[in-house]
Amino acid sequence: MIEGRCHCGRVRFHVSDTIETALECNCSICIRLGTIWGYSLIENVTIKSPPDGTIAYSRDQKNIAFHSCKNCGCTTHWEHLKPKADSKMAFNLRLSDPAILNSIRIRRFDGADTWSFIGE
């Protein structure tokens, strides 16, 4: 089980899953957000937020939406805008207990250029 919350606590996520790796991506948005993503199937991830509690931002392709707390600005998760049965959701492990990131492997993903993992 993994939990996380934005700085003000209005937006929270709860993941009924365990993860062994996280992903740090250098694409144009992730590098600006400073996120480290954990992933799980959509059915495992619960987002608790007030109505309209987040701002959703989509890149040009509009495949996924990045959500940030409207009050404190922390990026909490992203979701597929056209999810399939096996689609995953990503949650920002920077908002979770730091012990989680200390206990799992963080894989670096070259989303800026080669679209592959770096150093693997």
Give residues in contact with Zn ion (CB under 5 A). Answer: 6, 8, 10, 69, 71-72
What is the smallest separation between the CB atom of 68 and Zn ion, expressed in angstroms? Answer: 8
What is the smallest separation between the CB atom of 54 and Zn ion, expressed in angstroms? Answer: 9
Tokens 């701002």: give the residue. Answer: 55
What is the smallest separation between the CB atom of 114 and Zn ion, expressed in angstroms? Answer: 34
DSSP character for 118? T
Nearer to Zn ion, 72 or 106 (CB): 72
Nearer to Zn ion, 19 or 79 (CB): 79
Question: What is the C-alpha to C-alpha distance for residues 78 and 94, in angstroms, rounded to an integer?
Answer: 14
- Contact present, 88 and 37 (Cβ < 8 Å): no
Nearer to Zn ion, 33 or 69 (CB): 69
Sign of CA pseudo-dihedral 89, 92, 93, 95 = negative
